[in-house]
Amino acid sequence: MKILVIGGGGREHALVWKLKQSPAVDRIFCAPGNAGTAVIAENVALAASDLPQLRAFAKQNDVDLTVVGPDDPLAMGIVDLFSANKLRVFGPTKSAARLESSKIFAKELMRVQKIPTAQASTFSDSKEALRYCEQLKFPVVIKADGLALGKGVIIAPNIATARSTIEAMMNEARFGEAGRRIVIEEFLRGTECSLHALVDGKNYRLLESARDHKRVFDGDSGPNTGGMGAFSPANNWNARLQSQFENEIMRPLLRGLAKERIAYRGLLYPGLMITSDGARVLEFNCRFGDPETQALLPRMKSDLLPLLGAAIDGKIDSYTIDWDKRATVTVVLASAGYPGKYETGKAISGLDDAAKLEGIQVFHAGTKNANNQVITAGGRVLAVSALGPTIMAARTLAYDAVSRIQFDGCHYRRDIALSAVTS
């Protein structure tokens, strides 16, 4: 089979790495890819948002399956486009992807289906939003309605921050059209957890649990990022929560989508807050998480390819997924200044040294090849994933590998998974 993976981040490198292990796969393309995917696949110089060119490439190269990594192409309707051209593709349709591309759509669906989530109000007028904030108890959470590269969620501790955030989103267009409408919701207290499910329209199979670290600095401080690290399994997940999740979140969600005549096929990843009252949905994501994928796939013993096919064909209930009982810890190495302004073009050393460690996979994100050298080309540069018998062992191994990699301005959190070994 010929596979096309769309995207160029760490998640896509992990997907290529896992799909490459399938005996049914002969050739893998990655568009646009990075320096890591270039080693195990054929990079294609096409942007993930260039849907017409991606469709043409898939047609011309007889691609058997396209796997969509990022959220933007899904929101733009790449699955609809490929399907209309008789191209097999993994991911939800544009209508289904509104669960992620419109937080207002997701909130309304959750309200109707009584899915546990934070209380919220939506606004398209900044003055109304400001008047509403003046009545609230802080902190509050302010979210851009649309996609904002994982950075469109601001926790406002006071009215001054709320004012500046609303002004930036709605009047200064910091996130473009994504911030034209906003959601203001109550601040939920608890710990976060990431659940992934392969969904075939009616049924689903859960993947193992994981926890992400969103803030840029140690101690969960600083601005939100796309994710500075992850670990699996989550230390705040158990059978009771999973039962609640399936009965109160997944099944009502699929029921609600069916009522909207939406058949969701693809990967659904609800971000959860585990509160004293149980799991609450923070947001829905319609693709594999990043960096959760880099922590989950090293633990997946099953062949990923037939699982993706089963989700497309409505047959996921006939499959089970085998998992390695060991734990993974993933540490993201970022450019100095991320998630704000950062420089690129910094030479990276120590990659081979780190990769030689048993149990280590180095997934590339913002990298490219230049003059026979790997250099930085983005905010999140690498994700170092370690597999170990315990979270503590995996954590020790991950940071051993991280210590061997250098580039100018390299920044990473030193407390990834620390709560899982100290709690």
Based on the fold, state whether residues 8 and 31 are members of the same structural domain. yes
* Domain enclosing residue 10, as ranges: 2-91
Position 104 in a domain: no
Q: Tell me, what's the pLDDT at 423? A: 61
Q: Band of the pLDDT at 390, cuts 50, 70, 90?
A: very high
Position 99 in a domain: no
Based on the fold, state whether residues 281 and 383 are members of the same structural domain. no
Picking from 301, 318, 335, the residue at the C-terminal end of a domain is 318
Based on the fold, state whether residues 369 and 413 are members of the same structural domain. yes
Please say if the pLDDT value at position 43 is more than 80. Answer: yes
Please say if the pLDDT value at position 285 is more than 70. Answer: yes
Based on the fold, state whether residues 87 and 202 are members of the same structural domain. no
Position 373 in a domain: yes
What CATH number has the domain bearing residue 231? 3.30.470.20
Position 102 in a domain: no
Based on the fold, state whether residues 358 and 277 are members of the same structural domain. no
Enclosing H/E stretch for 58 = helix 51-60
CA distance 323 to 326: 9
Sign of CA dihedral 167, 100, 293, 176: negative
CA 11 to chain CA mean position, Å: 8
CA distance 413 to 213: 9
What CATH number has the domain bearing residue 417? 3.90.600.10
What CATH number has the domain bearing residue 65? 3.40.50.20
Q: Which two tokens stand for residue 282?
A: 């923070």
What CATH number has the domain bearing residue 159? 3.30.1490.20
CA distance 385 to 239: 26
Based on the fold, state whether residues 234 and 282 are members of the same structural domain. yes
Structurally, the chain folds into a number of domains equal to 4
Picking from 293, 318, 343, the residue at the C-terminal end of a domain is 318
Based on the fold, state whether residues 373 and 285 are members of the same structural domain. no
Position 111 in a domain: no
Instruction: Write out pLDDT tens, residues 115-169.
Output: 999 998 999 999 999 999 888 889 999 999 988 766 788 899 999 999 999 999 9
Average pLDDT, integer, range 395-421: 97
- 33 Cβ contact list (under 8 Å, min separation 6): 8, 12, 16, 41, 43, 44
Based on the fold, state whether residues 314 and 370 are members of the same structural domain. no
Q: Tell me, what's the pLDDT at 26? A: 97
Q: Tell me, what's the pLDDT at 177? A: 85
Please say if the pLDDT value at position 224 is more than 90. Answer: no
For strands 140-144 and 182-186, give the pairing: antiparallel
pTM comes to 0.94
Instruction: Write out pLDDT tens, residues 253-269.
Output: 999 999 999 999 999 99
94-103, 143-152, 340-349: the lowest-pLDDT one: 143-152
Based on the fold, state whether residues 382 and 348 are members of the same structural domain. yes
Picking from 153, 171, 186, the residue at the C-terminal end of a domain is 186
Position 96 in a domain: no
Based on the fold, state whether residues 198 and 272 are members of the same structural domain. yes
- Reading phi first (left if > 0) and then psi (alpha if -120 to 50, else beta), residue 282 is in alpha
Based on the fold, state whether residues 337 and 251 are members of the same structural domain. no
Average pLDDT, integer, range 32-37: 98
Based on the fold, state whether residues 198 and 249 are members of the same structural domain. yes
Please say if the pLDDT value at position 179 is more than 90. Answer: no
Position 109 in a domain: no
Position 138 in a domain: yes
